[in-house]
Chain A
Amino acid sequence: MSKKTDQNKLQDTPYSLGHTDEVEYEYQSPTGLDEDLIRKMSAMKKEPEWMLDRRLKALQIYEGMAMPTWGGDLSPIHGEEIHYYTRPKMDQAKSWDEVPDAIKKTFEKIGVPEAEREMLAGVKGQYDSEVIYGSLKRNLAEKGIVFLSMDEGLKQYPELVMEYFGKVVPIGDNKLAALNSAVWSGGSFVYVPKNVDVGLPLQAYFRINTESAGQFERTLIIADEGSRVHYIEGCSAPSFSSASLHSAVVEIFVKKGARVQYSTVQNWFKNVYNLVTKRAWVEENAEMKWVDGNLGSKLTMKYPSCILAGRKAHGELLSIAWAGAGQHQDTGAKMIHLAPETTSLIVSKSVSKGGGRATYRGMVQMVPGAYGSRSKVVCDALILDELSRSDTYPTNKIMENDVILEHEATVSRVSEEQLLYLQSRGINADEASTMIVNGFMEPVVKEIPLEYAVEMNRLVGLEMVGSVG
């Protein structure tokens, strides 16, 4: 590119959600992790014995496993400096009026109440480790839909939780899943009964708000036969001086003929380590769609997966990764084809800029007997300046011959022809490159709910100021 990029300008881009509020905590665990903490935590939550047993078993596994050595640099994470459990000073508030002002203010900044008033069915804001505000519109309850915090779900539906918790992400799946299984707190529990269409999206807002607060949500979604649900998870975290760890586990069961969409917009502040395990079990004729936007965090390692277990099951992942200065987005997808005539689609788009690094890491596996299956993987990367980096690490394991697998990836920059064309139409260089980047991401952005799409486009505009090419 002929014009010079103003690097300093990029790095100083203000973080629009970078505010922090004073909140009193009823309980904050000392830093570090041991058996006593888990016993104390489980007792405070009044959990059944079996859950405590699982937590302790998970802790044992966690301690015996080594941190992953692949992916991003995890060495700055010091487990002994993290508060594993914090609890805001109140029980779950029932109505908006009961929510304390300080917390309300934060929610207002992110726009939760408006969202609730206007169109969202149930708003669950997660303030640190506990869901402190939850509401469900009456019609949801009438349909028999359960939308609770995970802790509440465990209290009210212990049999369901016992049956499904840890079934698709076993406690020893990986070190971070083991950590989550040991210290999980908060997250959502969703059950959609047979043939029920939830209609409006269910939304949860996650936030980390205390320095070094670990955030270990656990979400479990069960979509019974023929049901439909769209769950939205959005993240924003205020500015902290020391690195924060976020390690969630999401488990989804998509029963026969059901359809689930799980949309995430992750916009953690740029010192958060976001290490997430997301996996869905997809049965016959069912469909699972992950829509994943990764804009924030220092390092994200996240590979949403679909286990296509029933005939004609379909899995999809649409993702966008934005890696700015100091960021590493190591994201991707896994599609495991276990049954005949299963199909999957992965579309991954990444933009790296100002020294950022975007990595696609994915796997498509087709086992013997998964005949008639098809998979298509498309990875496109844009590198906006000469300091940035893009990697693609796909693995395709095909153990069945009656299948079709297609994989393609391209890496490019904003082309001079496109810029020239737009400029010849009187659009200035900044606007033109913003337009091109937005156009590049559009196929994925159009899948996410409007308010996030707007936020995403705005963010691109903000980050693109002063950069050409």
Chain B
Amino acid sequence: MWAEESDTLLPAGRQCHSDTRKNKMNIKRFKLDKPGEIDLVISFSTAGDEKKILGVISAMEPGEYKVKVVADHVATNTFGRVIIKGVAANGAHIRIDGMVKIGREAKKTDSFLEMRVLLLDKTSSAVAEPKLEIENNDVKASHAATVGKIDEDQLFYLGSRGIETEEAKKLIIDGFLKEVKGVK
């Protein structure tokens, strides 16, 4: 379920404190493809910590798929990215509970929490709770969440290029998950 790797590439849009960050970015990936629960606390307790969590939820069977993530920023000058993407079908229910916590002493924190869910059929559902608790002002913190179905326009476009609906859906889902799955 777990994979760890290092990545010296800087993600886009993080020029702000890059001069002080010489550590390699720590990237962690997880995948949840059976009903169950993943409970994660990512602690940023050393100054300059840089961590990226990429999660895939592939919810294709009936049942509840729960992911709980807390990005806990305690030290100064830390950088966190949590990106979770999920697809649900066949009676699956996805629940993502995310929290970015930035303590009083965690100055110059840069943290982003993202959760995106595609609901592939009528029987699937999702609950997304992206939370923020911020106790100092020298921070950049944001979150984003979307829940929806496959964009009709994208399907239509691919259809007009001669790609069958099922194949088109597969392409769109692959594209959607690519960012968090990584290229293997």
CB pair A399–B137 under 8 Å, yes or no, is no
Contact residues on B (Cβ < 8 Å of other chain), bracket = 20 to 34
Q: Which residues of B contact A115 (CB under 8 A)?
A: none
CB pair A397–B127 under 8 Å, yes or no, is yes
Is there a chain A Cβ closer than 8 Å to B125's Cβ? yes
Contact among B127, B131, B140, B149 for A403, CB-based, below 8 A: B149
Is there a chain B Cβ closer than 8 Å to A398's Cβ? yes
CB pair B130–A381 under 8 Å, yes or no, is no
CB pair A396–B133 under 8 Å, yes or no, is no
Q: Which residues of A contact B122 (CB under 8 A)?
A: 368, 400-402
Min CB gap A394→B, angstroms:
6
Contact among B120, B121, B127, B139 for A398, CB-based, below 8 A: B127
Min CB gap A439→B, angstroms:
18
Chain A positions 445 through 456: 1 when the CB is less than 8 Å from some CB of chain B, otherwise 0: 000000000000
User: Please, how many angstroms separate the alpha-carbon atoms of A469 and B137 in the complex?
Assistant: 9
For chain B residues 116-170, which have a beta carbon within 8 Å of chain A?
A: 117, 119-122, 124-149
Is there a chain A Cβ closer than 8 Å to B104's Cβ? yes
Main secondary structure, interface of A, reads strand
Main secondary structure, interface of B, reads strand
Answer whether A409 and B127 are a contact pair too, CB < 8 Å, given A391-B134, A398-B119: no
CB pair A386–B149 under 8 Å, yes or no, is no
CB pair A384–B137 under 8 Å, yes or no, is yes
Chain A's closest residue to B146 (CB) is A406
CB pair B121–A401 under 8 Å, yes or no, is yes
Contact among B128, B138, B148 for A413, CB-based, below 8 A: B138
Contact among A1, A394, A413 for B131, CB-based, below 8 A: A394
User: Please, how many angstroms separate the alpha-carbon atoms of A395 and B133 in the complex?
Assistant: 15
Is there a chain B Cβ closer than 8 Å to A459's Cβ? no
CB pair A407–B144 under 8 Å, yes or no, is yes
CB pair B132–A390 under 8 Å, yes or no, is yes
Q: Which residues of A contact B107 (CB under 8 A)?
A: 386
CB pair B130–A386 under 8 Å, yes or no, is no
Min CB gap A340→B, angstroms:
13
Contact among B125, B130, B137 for A409, CB-based, below 8 A: B130
Answer whether A396 and B127 are a contact pair too, CB < 8 Å, given A401-B122, A401-B149: yes
Answer whether A411 and B142 are a contact pair too, CB < 8 Å, given A389-B135, A395-B129, A398-B119: yes
Is there a chain B Cβ closer than 8 Å to A251's Cβ? no
Chain A's closest residue to B101 (CB) is A391
User: Please, how many angstroms separate the alpha-carbon atoms of A182 and B147 in the complex?
Assistant: 41
CB pair B147–A411 under 8 Å, yes or no, is no
User: Please, how many angstroms separate the alpha-carbon atoms of A403 and B128 in the complex?
Assistant: 14
Is there a chain B Cβ closer than 8 Å to A412's Cβ? yes
Answer whether A404 and B148 are a contact pair too, CB < 8 Å, given A391-B134, A398-B119: yes
Chain B's closest residue to A408 (CB) is B144
Min CB gap A27→B, angstroms:
46
Min CB gap A397→B, angstroms:
5
Min CB gap B144→A, angstroms:
4
Contact among A385, A401, A405, A410 for B137, CB-based, below 8 A: A385
Is there a chain B Cβ closer than 8 Å to A388's Cβ? yes
Q: Which residues of B contact A381 (CB under 8 A)?
A: 132, 134
Contact among A385, A405, A413 for B147, CB-based, below 8 A: A405
Min CB gap B114→A, angstroms:
10
Q: Which residues of A contact B135 (CB under 8 A)?
A: 389
Q: Which residues of B contact A389 (CB under 8 A)?
A: 133-135
CB pair B128–A396 under 8 Å, yes or no, is yes
Q: Which residues of A contact B129 (CB under 8 A)?
A: 393-396
User: Please, how many angstroms separate the alpha-carbon atoms of A384 and B125 in the complex?
Assistant: 38
Chain A's closest residue to B95 (CB) is A397
Chain A's closest residue to B150 (CB) is A401
Q: Which residues of A contact B139 (CB under 8 A)?
A: 383, 411-413
Is there a chain B Cβ closer than 8 Å to A392's Cβ? yes
User: Please, how many angstroms separate the alpha-carbon atoms of A120 and B120 in the complex?
Assistant: 52
For chain A residues 451-469, which have a beta carbon within 8 Å of chain B?
A: 469
CB pair B132–A411 under 8 Å, yes or no, is yes
CB pair A396–B137 under 8 Å, yes or no, is no
CB pair A386–B136 under 8 Å, yes or no, is yes
Min CB gap B35→A, angstroms:
17
Answer whether A407 and B145 are a contact pair too, CB < 8 Å, given A392-B132, A401-B122: yes
User: Please, how many angstroms separate the alpha-carbon atoms of A14 and B152 in the complex?
Assistant: 56
CB pair A401–B134 under 8 Å, yes or no, is no
Chain A's closest residue to B127 (CB) is A397
Chain A's closest residue to B124 (CB) is A401
Chain B's closest residue to A383 (CB) is B137
Q: Which residues of B contact A384 (CB under 8 A)?
A: 137
Q: Which residues of B contact A413 (CB under 8 A)?
A: 137-139
Chain A's closest residue to B125 (CB) is A399
Chain B's closest residue to A360 (CB) is B132
Min CB gap A325→B, angstroms:
15
27 contacts between A and B (CB under 8 A): A1-B138, A368-B125, A381-B132, A383-B136, A383-B137, A386-B137, A389-B135, A390-B134, A391-B133, A392-B132, A394-B129, A394-B130, A396-B126, A396-B145, A398-B119, A399-B125, A401-B122, A401-B125, A401-B148, A403-B119, A403-B147, A404-B146, A404-B147, A405-B146, A411-B140, A412-B140, A469-B137
New contact pairs (17) apart from A396-B126, A407-B146, A412-B139, CB-CB < 8 Å:
A368-B125, A386-B107, A386-B137, A386-B138, A389-B134, A390-B134, A392-B130, A392-B132, A394-B130, A401-B119, A401-B120, A402-B122, A404-B149, A405-B145, A409-B132, A409-B143, A411-B141
A positions within 8 Å CB-CB of B: 1, 368, 381, 383-386, 388-413, 469
List 6 A-B pairs, minimum CB-CB distance, nearest first. Answer: A401-B119, A383-B137, A410-B142, A392-B132, A407-B145, A404-B148
